Each structure stands twice: as structure tokens, then as C-alpha cells.
Structure 1
Amino acid sequence: MKLKNLLLFAFVLGSLAINAQVRATVSGKTYDLEMVKLTVEGFVITLNADGSISDFSAPDLNGKVEYYDDAVFDKIKYGKLKSIGDVKIDYWEDAVFNNEKAGKLKSIGNITIDYWDDSTFTSEKAGKVKKIGNLNVDYWGDDIMDNSRWGKLKTIGDISIDYGTKDIIDQSRFKKLIKFGPVKLDYSDDTFIDKNKYGQLKSIQGNSKDVSVSVL
């Protein structure tokens, strides 16, 4: 499927899938965070666990669809969505000091998107989304004792995100999502009576219409 058709399909699919202001999805196999759907200024933006944006949509987004079609002056944008109706879409140009951003989504209408630069102190964040509108996005950095969370999403706005770390006695939560804002996830640590369920998701507490976590 061509990129422009894929993005258009994502617009339609995304507008049907959102039921909460912030909705996180966890893998049903690894229980690791996979993606987060954020509602920003009426748009639903999908932020993947790797710090990339895969799609965006809006319930009332209608109008003519246009693409960047100048292969010379818009080389890095060529073939990508340019506008839908009155909503303009732009992408970061290539430059010496921001090559981690080159070709990535820069703006959707009035929503600006920025990315982390690569540096000695931010290698785990390089090229990942740093800001969506007024929402700051951060990632877990180096940990001398345990780097199992390295590079994973840590905060989105005022939502803090945490994962199970190494535990000599209990590995049931290791690398799994245990906290997403007010939502807590717990896992079975029974190694005797119900040992076949060890490590499986046992409960989710704290879901609401504003922030929710679902398992896929």
C-alpha cells in the first residue's frame, strides 16, 4: 500500500477507535506498552512506544486531500500528505543540526511537534517525539542498577509511566507496564497454587473516561 493511501486509511481508522482522551494499549503477550492515543486540540494522535507518531485523525476532518508533489523543492516531503480541507500538514526539513527530525511530522494545523536531538546525554531519546502541542514527552535514561526501562516512555504531560524492574525474588512484573498515570497494573506472582498464570496480568485499576489502559 502506498504511503499516501496508508496515511489516509489511518485517518479514517483512527477516528473510529478513540473512546478516551488518553488511551494506552498494552501487548497481550509481553504486557509492554505499545501505543498511546492522545487527544490534542480535537485531533487524535497515536504515539508509539518507540517515540514515533504513526497516525492522526479528527472526527470532523473533511475536505479535499492534497499531497506534496514537487520532487525538487519538496524533496523530503514528496508524496506525503500536505492538507485535508483547511488543515495543513508539514514536515521537518533536513538540516545539519536536526537530521534526527528530517522528514518527520512537524505540524498538524496549529499543533506543532518537536523531537529530541541526539547528544551524549540523550542518546536514548534521539529522534523521538519531545513535544506534541503543549504536551512534553520524556523517556527513561540510564540507570546504573537496572537499564531495563532504558529508552521507554517515562512521561506524557503530567502522566507518569513506569515498568517492572529487576527483582531477584519476583520476576513477574519485569519489563511490563505497571503504571500509566492513575492506572495501575498488577501481575500474578503465584509460583505454587496457580503457577500456570505466573506473570499474567491479574488486574487493572484506575481506568476512567480521561485516562485508560487496554490490553490488545
Structure 2
Amino acid sequence: MKFKNLLPLVFLLGSLASNAQVRASVSGRTYDLETVKLTVDGFVVTLNAEGLISDFNAPDLNGKVEYYEDAIFDKIKYGKLKSIGGIKIDYWDDSAFTREKAGKIKSIGNIAVDYWDDTAFTREKAGKVKKIGNLNVDYWGDDIMDNSRLGKLKTIGDISIDYGTKDIIDESKFKKLVKFGPVKLDYSNDKFIDKNRYGQLKSINGNSEKISVTVL
């Protein structure tokens, strides 16, 4: 039986050419964080800027591909990827207690995935990834002074993430990624001599085999 749009996960795309355990990608247009590739239990799991898993990959992910085919008992999973070889993919069911998680990835093999609930204190995080395996994921909350970071990735495990906030004198970094763990990004703030480059990325420092940031 053939189904349309059966692959919510773009698995086996991209490569493991980079040995970095954590690899972040930044937009070359907005300099905002777009994706983060995390190595978890042998899998490279991609977390997008919306706080959702967009794909996963593994060097030995081979075998028969199966899908959820029971439209009655697996209604919310129907047509979604079920397994590749011996690796099973599961999704959260829809219930009064899992409304923000319903239909989202619950596990990839032995890697469990959980999501933030919708409460008065987590509205900006609701439905976003909270945990991948042993990695906790958090997002910037409400700030009465400046909400330009609201809902953006704040921490992944022990990696802290920050963005340029409002500055009356210097807006060159506003809403742009400035810190991803040990990696620092700086932007041109010369409005006079080199004004054509104002706001453009000037430098990246701190990249290593373990953690790296690339601009696409």
C-alpha cells in the first residue's frame, strides 16, 4: 500500500562529514539560529528553530521501512514512519494530558523525546521539545523589558544560547545569535567608515570538534 506524504522525518539526508557532536546552523540572511544537530546515542537528531525535531540520521540506519497503517487504532500515527530496520519510531497519542505532544515524535529507538506542556508559566514553550534522551532543552521566557528572544532556544544540556537584545546605541546584534556555548559571534557596528557592512557577521570564535556554528 502506498501513502502520500508518509515521511514527516527527512531521514538519511545530509551527512556526518562533520565530527562535531553539536552543530548549529545560522541563517546567512538574518543571522538567527535555524537548526541544531545533536549526537544522541549514535543518532544525529536535528532540532529546528521552532523547537521541533525535523530529522534524524545514523550511519548504519538500514533495512526495511515500515509505516503505521491502522487508521482506526493508530489514527494520529497513521501514515507516519514506524521503523527502519530494527529502529522503531513512536509518536505521542492524543489525550487530555498530551494535547501539546499529540502526533509528535515520542521515541527514536531507545531515545525518548518529551515536550513542554502548556501552562501559565510555559506558554512560549508549549509543544516544543523539552528533552531528547538525557539532554534537557529550554527556551527564553517572558521579559517585560525586551521580548525579542521570547520562545527562542536558551539551553541545550549545558550549552547556553543567547541573542542580541535591544540597544538604543547599537542595533547591529539585535535578534541575532551572539553566543552558542563557547562559540561567540560578533557583528560589524561601524555606521561611518564601513557602513555598508553594518550588522553583517564580522567574526566567529570558539568553534571546536565538540561544538561548532556554521553560517548558511
Q: Same-fold call, TM > 0.5?
A: yes
Identity in percent? 80
Instruction: Give me the whole-angstrom Cα distance separating, in 1, the residues matched to 2:207 and 2:23.
Output: 9
Instruction: Give me the whole-angstrom Cα distance separating, in 2, the residues matched to 1:18 and 1:74.
Output: 37
Contact 1:38 / 1:46 at 8 angstroms: preserved in 2?
A: yes
User: What residue in structure 2 maps to residue 132 of structure 1?
Assistant: 132
User: What residue in structure 2 maps to residue 84 of structure 1?
Assistant: 84
User: What residue in structure 2 maps to residue 155 of structure 1?
Assistant: 155
Matched residue type, 1:41: D
User: What residue in structure 1 maps to residue 104 of structure 2?
Assistant: 104
Deviation (angstroms), 1:49: 0.9
Contact 2:8 / 2:81 at 8 angstroms: preserved in 1?
A: no
Contact 2:7 / 2:80 at 8 angstroms: preserved in 1?
A: no
Instruction: Give me the whole-angstrom Cα distance separating, in 1, the residues matched to 2:113 and 2:124.
Output: 19
Matched residue type, 1:206: G
Matched residue type, 2:74: D
The structure with more helix, counted as a fraction of residues: 1
Give the aligned CA root-mean-square deviation in angstroms: 1.3
Contact 1:14 / 1:55 at 8 angstroms: preserved in 2?
A: no
Unpaired stretches in structure 2, ≥5 consecutive residues:
none
Structure 2 SS opposite 1:13? coil
Deviation (angstroms), 1:98: 1.4
Structure 2 SS opposite 1:184? strand
Query: What TM-score, normalized by structure 1, do the two folds share?
Result: 0.96
Q: Deviations over 1:174-201 (max 9, x none)?
A: 0000000000000000011000000000
Instruction: Give me the whole-angstrom Cα distance separating, in 1, the residues matched to 2:81 and 2:34.
Output: 25
Structure 1 SS opposite 2:6? helix
Q: Deviations over 1:28-68 (max 9, x none)?
A: 00000001000100001000011011111101111111110
Contact 2:7 / 2:81 at 8 angstroms: preserved in 1?
A: no
Matched residue type, 1:176: K
Q: 1:101 to 1:40 in 2, by over 3 A?
A: same
Instruction: Give me the whole-angstrom Cα distance separating, in 2, the residues matched to 1:11 and 1:2.
Output: 16
Query: What TM-score, normalized by structure 2, do the two folds share?
Result: 0.96
Q: Deviations over 1:119-178 (max 9, x none)?
A: 111000000000000000000001111110000000000000000000010000000000
Structure 2 SS opposite 1:76? coil
Instruction: Give me the whole-angstrom Cα distance separating, in 1, the residues matched to 2:4 and 2:198.
Output: 43
| 2:177 is aligned with 1:172 | no
Q: What pairs up with 1:56-95 in 2 under 5 angstroms?
A: 56-95=56-95
